[in-house]
Amino acid sequence: MTLKQTLFLLLTFLMFSHFSYSQERETIELKTGWKFSKGHNELAYQKIFDDSGWQNVNIPHDWAIEGPFIISGDGNTGKLPWKGEGWYRKKINIPDNYNGKRLYLLFDGIMAFPNIYINGQLAGRWDYGYNSFYLDITDIVNFNDENILAIHVDTRKHDSRWYPGAGIYRKIQMIAVNPIHVDIWGTYITTPILKPHYADVRVATTINNYSQTDDEIKVKHIILTADKNKVVEKEITGKIASNMNKIFKATITIPNPRRWDLENPHLYILVTKIYRENELLDTYNSTFGIRDIRFTANNGFYLNDKRVQLKGVNLHHDHGPLGAAFNERAMERQLQIIKSMGCNAIRTSHNTAAPELLDLCDKMGLLVFNEVFDKYDAKADIVDSTNFENFTHRNIRNFVVRDRNHPSIFLWSVGNEISDVQWNVDNGFNRLQIMLNYVEKYDNTRPTTLVCDSYKSAELRHFDYYDVHSWNYGRRYSLARQLEPNKPVIISESASTLSTRGFYEFPLPGQKTDFTNSLQVSSYDLNAPEWAELADDDFMWQQEEPYVAGEFVWTGFDYIGEPTPYNNRWVKKHGMTDNEASRSSYFGVVD
């Protein structure tokens, strides 16, 4: 081959590559090249600003885990400096071929109250530090010049009962798409009919049209096995108006479907392609599983018509010494360990989880009790100026729409131990109804719950609003079960047995709440807080009451903060100082 022929082939390849590249959506993770500075700065949002002296960081990033520890600080949040404000800045180069596309920034989670600026202009803001959100930045970026992304993070209004972390602790992605494209989290996949020899898969696809004309488009769905073998495909067509979005619905029959279950978590891939005439405009991939779930009031939970006793654990979001910055391998390791000890489910206590956690549970065959909030207050970044209806709609929509295609999720929880809701203080039931209405709006294929702890509040019948009795500790579900026996029961937090791995001490405790000044708890598993119980009690209750669908042990892994019993109050009561208060929990099945 001559040099001239080689150059011609290379040029042809590059031209073809550029053409293909312009047709497909492009997703770039904004991981490197960030500058960070902790503290107040009134000018850091500006495009022209000297950040050369700032710290170089990668995202995800938790500024507080670096310390230093505040020795006399609050052990409940790990004695770490997470309260404060900080700035992140990054240069973004927009490729030439992005001109004419729509550009989105997708944020998996920022703790907390972020304000996002592009070239000195406010692009958008968010509140709840644990939830995902996105912004359309098309109209404020420069396609022919350098762009500066600046993000202000402020945790001073956030409240927490454990270590929350601080900063951009989950990933950020930039997504470039053609004007006609599948929306962010734009497919909703359900299986309304599931038989032994076939399954009807219903796909609702939200498509945006930001072009200047009304268009006739073709939507082509291709379903693949996990190893990319084609199962079936279907095409539908329809018109979409300019500057509007539209939901395109299709029902696709899969012959002899392989079900997702705990032993064989089979997954399918839905490839959605959008065409205008013969021009490919967008390709969007969704992962889903085919399974049947149901609860019964008297015999618990069923997966694919097989009763499954839920053997779950609660998991907080931090990774111990890695802090709150999400690390997929660290999360995978935790799930591998708990699965190896017989666990088959997790509860995302008490907040929206990183999306990768749900991906891992799908792949590994773990059920998910998916919880969005702890309390309806500053722990959810609800402050005095918050419009509750607006806040709920935004956050429940993102929570449910992001997660609803995951086969691992079997239950939506709208909150944990919210006393004013349980007792209907300040229209608590109305707030509960608002939450549940929005869950139902965006997914009606799974049951809902509120996790409760106030035993006598069951007399007010808050359980009439949701589907499953979920109660923490001490057989507190018994009154709700007596008043409404036609709903299933889950022990959503069990045990809270305390121990320090490898530490043994005599004499043995006479009572579960007998703790010593050693600041350690014996590993004989004979200790628990006053409000909890030993693990053996929960095992016994489930044996005696087979209607209980299962339990979620508090907790699968120890976490930063909530150092019961050796918190600041305990040590001072026993003649010590704040300096001696512990910084991490004693609850974990695994340290």
List active site positions. Answer: 417, 493
Backbone φ and ψ for 301, nearest 5 degrees, come out as -105, 140
Distance of CA 423 to the CA centre of its chain: 28
Q: What is the rounded CA–CA span in Å between residue 291 and residue 489?
A: 21
- How many CB atoms sit inside 10 A of residue 71's CB? 12
| End-to-end C-alpha distance for the chain, whole angstroms | 64
| Cβ neighbourhood burial of 278 (10 Å; 0-12, 13-18, 19+) | exposed
Nearest to 135 by CA among 106, 113, 109, 115: 106
164, 102 Cβ separation under 8 angstroms:
no
d(CA 573, CA 568): 9
Q: Using omega within 30 degrees of 0 as the cis cutoff, is the peptide bond preceding 60 cis?
A: yes
Decide if 362 contacts 408 (C-beta within 8 A).
yes
| Neighbouring-strand partners of residue 493 | 472
Six-digit token string for 128 = 């709840």
**C-alpha–C-alpha distance, residues 398 and 395, integer Å:** 5
- Token reading at 446: 């799974």
Q: How many residues does the chain have?
A: 591
Tokens read off for 55: 């710290």
